[in-house]
Amino acid sequence: MVQAINGGVTAPAGFLATGICAGIKKGSKKDMALVFSTVPAVSAGVFTTNVVKAAPVKWDKFVTEESAFAQAIVVNSGVANACTGESGYKNCMDMAAEVGAHLSIPASAVLVASTGVIGRPLPMDIIKDGIGKMSRCLGSTRDDGRLAAEAIMTTDTKSKEKAVQTVIDGKTVTVAGMCKGSGMIHPNMATMLCFVTTDAAISREMLQKALREDVVDTFNMISVDGDTSTNDSVLVLANGLAQNEEITGEGAAYDAFCEALHAVMVSLCRKIAGDGEGCTCLFEATVVGAATKEQARTLSKSIVCSNLTKAAIFGHDANWGRILCAMGYSGAEFDPEKVDLYFESSAGKLKIVENGMDTGYSEEKATEILSQETVRAIADIKMGTQTATAWGCDLTYEYVRINGDYRS
């Protein structure tokens, strides 16, 4: 039984965090965050598949794969530290070393993440100053998780947190996370940045397995604009303070942990898609009746990635031909003349297409359904029992404005 609770990354036992305005961004926006586990934790990570990988992605791969334990995550927004060559990697290591010195832990226990403009060098003086400040005020307020979630935002309009609890071996285990992501969102592994903390006791192998398997149905199923970033990372720290018996293999305890992890990840995915750059709504596409899970994923993701469909959703226009078209070019096989299609939202559910043809539905009702904050398309392809959901958003004038003028 997974139960939602208030809070973010500091909800699990033993985690502190903070977020500050270090001065990387113009104005007085927060731009650095630090998450710290008071005891050593095991870590796991999944990262962008983009050939162009930002320096922190390379560093974090090393930490999650090679380091004995991890205990901190330092994050900056404003500059992505991607396409910055050797000096970029050195800056990344210097960030880890600086955090390690302040918190008395090895540099190899510090995960690093950056997000922002590609190609610019990190302003290291400002960053080192910021690390000093954060180390001193870690956990000094009750809003610490929230401050961190705010500090990692770029074009996000809302901070994104989630925390849940479950019971494993009679012990309460908490899993929590925060993430950011608004544009350049089409993860092939993970989205821009997501950080999950838990007090569960779990081996590194099982933590990595749980994460790797969950992203397939969560972060790999969201898209804002089809652009897979250079910095995508999902990092998890598990510090064992919940005192459940360490999870070292499959079974009921592992399943309970995965269920809690999934609840956090899905919630964060929906928050990212619903806060896509310039968007006015969260657009979910669910494919049911698929022969295989993979087919359902391919079809649902193709729907939320279609620019034409997204523009129609923005216009509250039930232009269903674009959805069938997007399914058709997805690469998955199906019979278009067997497809049923529904639109659903808080305003109701309407059958738009039956066996590939118009049902003669009410355009007025369809527009009402499509005018809500969360809009869902459901396609039944009548080939089997598998299902998958993908998350996206509408395509708006505001998306173009934000991205026509990002660096100014």
Active site residues: 191
Q: Is 383 in the site for its own copies (CB under 8 A)?
A: no
Task: Please state, in angstroms and rounded to a whole number, the distance separating the CA atoms of residues 126 and 22.
Answer: 6
Out of 74, 163, 288, 327, point to the residue binding its own copies (CB under 8 A): 327
Cα–Cα nearest to 261, from 191, 391, 159, 163: 163
Window contacting its own copies (CB under 8 A); options: 118-126, 195-203, 242-250, 383-391: 118-126
Which ranges of 222-292 does DSSP label H, i.e. alpha helix?
Answer: 252-274
Name the minimum Å distance from CB 117 to its own copies: 7
Name the minimum Å distance from CB 234 to its own copies: 17
Q: Is 337 in the site for its own copies (CB under 8 A)?
A: yes
Q: Is 5 in the site for its own copies (CB under 8 A)?
A: no
249 vs 321 by CB, closer to its own copies:
321
Q: Which of residues 207-266 bind its own copies (CB under 8 A)?
A: 225-230
Paired tokens of 375 = 């809009």
Cα atoms found within 13 Å of the Cα of residue 103, Cβ hemisphere only: 32
Binding to its own copies by CB under 8 A, coded x per residue (else -) over 186-205, reads: x-x-----------------
Task: Please state, in angstroms and rounded to a whole number, the distance separating the CA atoms of residues 362 and 383.
Answer: 28
Per-residue DSSP letter, 277 = T
Q: Is 320 in the site for its own copies (CB under 8 A)?
A: yes
CB 268 within 8 A of CB 177: yes
Q: Which of residues 37-96 bind its own copies (CB under 8 A)?
A: 48-53, 80, 82-85
Q: Which residues contact 98 (CB under 8 A, 6 or more apart)?
A: 127, 128, 131, 132
Name residue, tokens 């392809």.
381
Q: Is 372 in the site for its own copies (CB under 8 A)?
A: no
Other CB atoms within a 10 A radius of the CB of residue 373 amount to 10
Chain positions contacting its own copies, by CB under 8 A: 48-53, 80, 82-85, 117-120, 183-184, 186, 188, 225-230, 305-308, 311-312, 314-315, 317, 319-322, 324-330, 332-334, 336-337, 353, 355-358, 395-397, 399-408
